[in-house]
Structure 1
Amino acid sequence: MASNNSSDYALFPQSLIPSSLSSSLPEGYTLRPLHRSDYSRGFLTCLTDLTWIGEITESAFCERFDWMVTKGKDWYYCLVIDDGSRIVATATMIVERKFIHDFTMVAHVEEVCVAASHQGKGLGLTVIQALNAVAKDLGVGKLILNCSEKNIKFYEKCGYSTAGQQMELKYNN
């Protein structure tokens, strides 16, 4: 990774992503870590196919990215797939280090999204398989995620199983 003075660098080392997964992508597509320059490659635009984003400037994006690289180092793993010009798929994993179960690590899978115009190409499966592989390589004990009922079959195809119910408490900040 380049120093923070450089204009572009990856959130984490490319070497954590198994190169074998890239061969399952359509020609011209690349699986890689999120880069600081991905604001201009449509990273947030891709996420709008998942949920509301807000008005995030490039400066604010870079500030959050830099925080993840420094203060969030070894916690945040955001993968993207680009088609040569734009980000078309993404998924993020946040690693939690626990006291229980002999200091196990649990990874939370978040913000899984494939741009609507690129769905049906196996990109979602590939990005989840990549997160699974990174987690295993890091020594994570289990990965967990929340999803809507309509997405359960997809995640079962990725090796996940239903376990429990989600609860939430929202603040109106």
Structure 2
Amino acid sequence: MQDTSSVAGEESFRVRKLEISDKAKGFIDLLQQLSVCDSVSDKEFEDRFQELRSYGDDHLICVIEDDGSGKIVATGSVLIEKKFLRNCGKVGHIEDVVVDGSARGKQLGKKIIEFLTDHARAMGCYKVILDCSEDNRGFYEKCGFKKKEIQMAKYFT
């Protein structure tokens, strides 16, 4: 799956799967805009990349690369959970969606969500879910998501 499009006739963005070379294109820096993400060595990145690759299509990380600058400006991931419920159904869990502060307002978040949602549908998921802050609720509602239940978390120190 790949999408190349122009925005305002100037910028070109490409949605694609994460590649090993994306660390050098600012992938980790982008994640730091979302949450705590300490520096990751090239070896650690490669090891984790290979581990995630071994899961096949059950864990997909996508990125949007600005073709003009070569910089990664958006990312998100979807994990496919295999269940016994719903006749051994599958659920997609969208995680770690972030758009670079300098690239917001260009519909890139929407492109990421569509890419991940399409992947979950293609994998046979009966639904896709995500957690978000109240501040981001409106964005996800525009992407077709509805508020359901509540989120709970327990962190380990």
TMscore range, shorter length:
over 0.9
2:45 alignment partner, one of 20, 39, 61:
61
Distance 2:106 2:48 in 1: 30
2:156 & 2:36 partners in 1: Cα distance? 17
In structure 1, runs of 5+ residues without a counterpart are 1-16
1:138 alignment partner, one of 113, 116, 123: 123
Pairs within 5 Å for 1:1-173: 17=1, 19=2, 21-23=3-5, 25-26=6-7, 27-70=11-54, 72-84=55-67, 85-172=70-157
TM-score w.r.t. the length of structure 1 is 0.84
- Hey, what's the Cα distance between the residues in 2 that align with 1:29 and 1:91? 15
Whole-angstrom distance in 2 between the partners of 1:61 and 1:133? 26
- AA at the equivalent of 1:58: D
For residue 111 of structure 1, report the CA deviation from its aligned partner. 0.3
Supply the AA of the counterpart residue of 1:157: K
Aligned-pair CA distance for 1:22: 3.6
- Please give the alpha-carbon distance, in whole angstroms, between the structure 1 residues aligned to 2:30 and 2:153: 26
The RMSD of aligned alpha carbons is 1.2
What amino acid is the match of 1:167?
Answer: M
The letter for the 2-side match of 1:118 is A
Deviation (angstroms), 1:150: 0.7
Following the alignment from structure 2 to structure 1, what is the Cα–Cα distance between the partners of residues 156 and 30?
Answer: 26
Runs of 4+ in 1 over 3 A off after TM superposition: none
User: Among the aligned pairs, what percent are the same residue?
Assistant: 35
Cα distance, 1:91 vs. partner? 0.6
Q: How many residues align?
A: 152
Q: Contact 2:28–2:39 (CA<8 Å) still a contact in 1? A: no
Q: Which residue does 1:13 correspond to in 2? A: none
TM-score, normalising length from structure 2?
Answer: 0.92
Higher strand share: 2
CA distance in 2, matches of 1:166, 1:108: 13
State the distance in 1 between where 2:57 and 2:13 align.
26
